[in-house]
Amino acid sequence: MIHQATVQIRTAGRGTYSIDLAVRGVLAKSGLVRGVVHLFVQHTSCSLIITENADPDVRHDLETLAADWAPDGDPRYRHDLEGPDDMAAHARSVITHSSFSIPFSEGQMLLGTWQGLYLWEHRRTGHLRSLVITVMGDHQ
Amino acid sequence: MIHQATVQIRTAGRGTYSIDLAVRGVLAKSGLVRGVVHLFVQHTSCSLIITENADPDVRHDLETLAADWAPDGDPRYRHDLEGPDDMAAHARSVITHSSFSIPFSEGQMLLGTWQGLYLWEHRRTGHLRSLVITVMGDHQ
Amino acid sequence: MIHQATVQIRTAGRGTYSIDLAVRGVLAKSGLVRGVVHLFVQHTSCSLIITENADPDVRHDLETLAADWAPDGDPRYRHDLEGPDDMAAHARSVITHSSFSIPFSEGQMLLGTWQGLYLWEHRRTGHLRSLVITVMGDHQ
């Protein structure tokens, strides 16, 4: 059985935004008990990650490294129509994730204790982001 | 319900190759209306990405950055049996994707306006690449 | 139909550990013949990759590059509670994979000849890692 919903996430610019509650809400509504929840962002300048949920410094340090992986305003970029963070955002999206799935059982996601789900906004300005959540599973 | 097909993509060496049409074709044949389409490349020296589909400069700039992430002919590489692009190709595959899924509804992939699906060939010479497409979903 | 199992993998510190046999075992037990096998690690300091399975130098070279992508003990890190490899491990997890799926047909994973499935331990010391395997597919 398939249950599908789209959730809007408003970001306030570059940074990570917890989406655990949004995903849990759709999973609960599905009424399914065992399977996987699939997440998909409909954008190429933000992405999805699973990372440590206890110490916000982890997500701060990820931003530090992301500036090594894909710096803003690299003079080699040809694509800079929307500013110095435009191409950096596309590249950060490509090396992280537009899509992944989490298993669930007894209606609960099987996340480890320290795993949090985040939408990572890579643009400097705020955006409204669409997250498609598809629950696939059995009723018992 | 599951519908599965393998599609062959002929590449002409390093670069990105649009696979939207191939995926849409298999999805249409499945007759399924709601679920996810799963993509999988059966190789370790090419990969799959979702990125901006309007400006080819984006994919040019991704190549520029990929040369930072995993340079050809790095003197530290031990694995160079098939040339300077051999290990670079494996590494670029690992930090992008061998596999991901896209949700669909009413028989159409729920891609954002600017999202395109690409096979990224990381070897300098052309190859014949196998893409396994698995559609999982409901008939109504 | 859904079949789900959790497998424990004991690591001996940083490095790659083949999980092909563990995944094949769960797939065989499922009795399903066609669909996808979904893998998920319940941790933020190890990850999953698909890479070349013939020459161990490939995985050696991946470690070399990973030290460029996310060095141990970078002085810019704020998160270092568990030592110099703590933040490096989280970052390496984020740019590789906590989760992916492999298609199967006639009860066999559709892996390419050179594709191997690995758990990549990013911490220097050994850990017990939980891998959730979810088989989704049809009986015929």
Q: Quick one: pLDDT at residue A140?
A: 78
| Percent of chain A whose pLDDT exceeds 90 | 98
Q: Quick one: pLDDT at residue B28?
A: 98
Distance from CA of C128 to the nearest CA of A (A): 13
The rounded distance, in Å, linking the Cα atoms of B137 and B2 is: 7
Q: Quick one: pLDDT at residue A52?
A: 97
Q: What share of chain C is helix, strand, coil (3-state, %, to 5)?
A: 25, 40, 35
C75 touches chain A (CB under 8 A): no
Which residue has tokens 């990570």?
A: A16
- Residue A100 near residue C98 (C-beta atoms within 8 A): yes
- Residue C109 near residue C26 (C-beta atoms within 8 A): no
Q: Which of A38, A69, A81 shows the shortest C-beta gap to B101?
A: A38
Biggest distance spanned by C-alpha atoms of chain B? 56
Closest-CA residue of chain A to C1: A138
B105 touches chain C (CB under 8 A): no
One-letter identity of residue C63: E
One-letter identity of residue A135: V
C65 touches chain A (CB under 8 A): no
Q: Quick one: pLDDT at residue B51?
A: 98
Which residue has tokens 């800079």?
A: A80
- Tokens, residue C46: 């190890």
User: Which residues on A lie below 8 Å from C78 (Cβ)?
Assistant: 57, 60-61
The rounded distance, in Å, linking the Cα atoms of B113 and B34 is: 19
A98 and B110 in contact by Cβ < 8 A?
Answer: no
User: Does the model's pTM come out above 0.80?
Assistant: yes
Asked whether the predicted pLDDT for residue C140 surpasses 80, the reply is: no
B67 touches chain C (CB under 8 A): no
Instruction: Report pLDDT digits (tens) over A66-107.
Output: 999 999 999 999 999 999 999 999 999 999 999 999 999 999
Instruction: Report pLDDT digits (tens) over C93-124.
Output: 999 999 999 999 999 999 999 999 999 999 99
Distance from CA of B93 to the nearest CA of A (A): 10
Domains in chain A with CATH codes: 2-138 (2.60.120.460)
B34 touches chain A (CB under 8 A): yes
Question: Does the ipTM exceed 0.90?
Answer: yes
CA angle A65, A70, A72 (to 5 degrees): 105
Beta carbons within 8 Å of C68's beta carbon, 6+ residues apart: none
Q: Quick one: pLDDT at residue B114?
A: 98
Distance from CA of A140 to the nearest CA of C (A): 10
User: Which residues on B lie below 8 Å from C114 (Cβ)?
Assistant: 43-44
A101 and B101 in contact by Cβ < 8 A?
Answer: yes
